[in-house]
Chains A and B, each alone.
Chain A
Amino acid sequence: MPVDHKRINGPEETVPYSLFTKLNTKSLQQQFKEQVRDEKRSDNRLLLEHRKIFIKTGLVSQAKGSAYIEQGKTKVIVSVFDPREIPNRTDYSLKGEIYCEFKFATFSCTKRRLHQQDTEEKQYSALMKQALDSTVCRHEFPNFQVDIYAFVLHNDGSALSAAITAAGVALAHAGVPMYDLIVSATLGIQQNIKLLDPSVTEQWLCEMPVPLDGKVGNQGVIVMSMLQSHEQISQFYQVGNLSLEDITDSIKILENACKELIPLIQKHLVKHVLKTMKNKSEDK
């Protein structure tokens, strides 16, 4: 580990204790079979069943807008700040910029993460930006930048979609003009079994080829973000090997999943609007 002068450093070399547990001799195939049995998953969900989502706004009082999402055990918090001048920019841009930062807490995953952003986090930041760029009315704040920070407290799979969904709610909460509400969902595919909203183990198993009877089937993870009322896809990200049919099917599944999420978000935002309006009239 490189020495960080601005933090307290531990000993030079540390290893996670999970490396020294009783050897896990199960093959990937067995592990996967344990996860999915008789059309049921280890947490008793159906294959295409989304985990329960809780969403709350206004958690970060210091931010302009914020949202906290719990999707199963996955917990993500997103905050949005007022537009500010873009640092170190000299040219004029007609459209505002979106700055996204996606970060896992050091303790959010099984393996400890570093304080600095790693490549995965940087990629997720870029994907978030991509999803939100076309959602926000950027022409409303030319030459300014809106900062969006997503922080994962606990990663149990599908953290990126949770972050994008929460970011959409946080933006609406912050009063940043948007073309539409945005929701996102994740789908894992392994051996032609599709798992909606995979948990962290499922996601891990879907990300690598697991041979079944010596053959390697289609496998991968898809993250898709949708704008609800215009029925547009604002971001699509896929890893793994998938056939064309798989992708079309997956898009259908994900589209439905997104549509199911929308009422929840709408309900929450309407509640929020009603509440603030009530407070306002009381103040007067």
Chain B
Amino acid sequence: MEKPQLSCKLGILSRPDGSAMFCEGETTVIAGIYGPVEVKMQKVINDKASVECSYRPKSGLPGIEDRLYESLIRNICETSLMASLYPRSAILITLQEMHDSGQLISCAINAACLACLQSGIDMKFMFGAVTCFLTKEEVISLMPPISKSDVKALFVFVFDNAAGRIIASHTEGSFSEEQYKEALNLGREESKNVFIFFKKTLVGINSC
């Protein structure tokens, strides 16, 4: 099955402790992570680091849909990062959209994972996200249809690399349970490739 080409560049920014530019097909996101850093008084958590996330679209006014993405990515990173090793500090994750052709959320999540990996903050497991599309013809694919109006439903799955369990699921549009199952399985298979890509990137053999 045709699938989007993954590519990435680690450490593209000098200021953050970890940064990555991740591309999934044409969709591109830059992620940066600072941490552990000083935390603001009202956000102090005594037994672990407070994980904050901010997402910036590349144009337009900030809106509440960004808040939904932020809370999604924040929750994913919070479960994955060993926040309890850094009590009373903050871990800041920032994402910047560079280009969107459909897989924005999964691309942002993968970029965040790579930035976390590069930053050297301890993690319980890696997380990898995959976007699946259900077209009007009821076909499930990993490639975004050419026109947005051809998408009947969109699924974003996030898996862990340890046991292949589901960390997050985000859907748009409506679909049957079978279709959801099918997309989930497709996503799980593809997530393995994502993890292989992560590993290759980290050892520097970027041959995908």
Contacts and interface: CB of A to CB of B under 8 A. Distances in A.
Binding between chains A and B: yes
Interface of A: 3, 5-8
Nearest to A8: B64
Interface string B68-110: 0000000000000000000000000000000000000000000
Contacts of A6: 64
Contacts of B62: 5
- Say whether chain A's binding surface is mostly helix, strand, loop, or mixed: loop
Nearest to B62: A5
B65 to A, nearest CB: 9
B64 A3 contact: no
Contacts of A5: 61-64
Contacts of B63: 5
- Chain B interface size, as a band, is under 10
Interface string B120-162: 0000000000000000000000000000000000000000000
B67 to A, nearest CB: 8
Given A3-B61, A5-B64, 6 more contacts: A5-B61, A5-B62, A5-B63, A6-B64, A7-B64, A8-B64
CB-CB nearest 7 A-B residue pairs? A5-B62, A5-B63, A6-B64, A8-B64, A5-B61, A7-B64, A3-B61
B1 to A, nearest CB: 37
A233 B148 CA distance: 66
A25 B153 CA distance: 53
8 contacts: A3-B61, A5-B61, A5-B62, A5-B63, A5-B64, A6-B64, A7-B64, A8-B64
Interface in B25-81: 61-64
A185 to B, nearest CB: 42
A3 B64 CA distance: 12
B4 to A, nearest CB: 31
B64 to A, nearest CB: 6
A249 to B, nearest CB: 53
Contacts of A3: 61
Contacts of A7: 64
A6 B63 CA distance: 7
B57 to A, nearest CB: 12
A6 B64 CA distance: 6
Nearest to A9: B63
A8 B62 CA distance: 11
Nearest to B67: A6
Nearest to A6: B64
Nearest to B66: A5
Contacts of B61: 3, 5
Contacts of A8: 64
B68 to A, nearest CB: 12
Contacts of B64: 5-8
Nearest to B61: A5
A7 B61 CA distance: 13
A5 B61 CA distance: 8
A8 B65 CA distance: 9
Nearest to A7: B64
A31 B83 CA distance: 67
A115 to B, nearest CB: 13
A93 B193 CA distance: 64
A18 B61 CA distance: 33
A7 B65 CA distance: 10
B8 to A, nearest CB: 32
B122 to A, nearest CB: 34
Nearest to B65: A8
A217 to B, nearest CB: 51
Q: Kindly name the residue among B61, B62, B63 whose own CB sees the greatest number of chain A CB atoms within 10 A.
A: B63
B78 to A, nearest CB: 23
B82 to A, nearest CB: 32
A3 B63 CA distance: 10
B205 to A, nearest CB: 44
A173 B46 CA distance: 35
B42 to A, nearest CB: 11
A246 B64 CA distance: 53
A8 B63 CA distance: 8
A178 B20 CA distance: 61
A5 B65 CA distance: 10
Nearest to B63: A5
A6 B62 CA distance: 9
B81 to A, nearest CB: 27
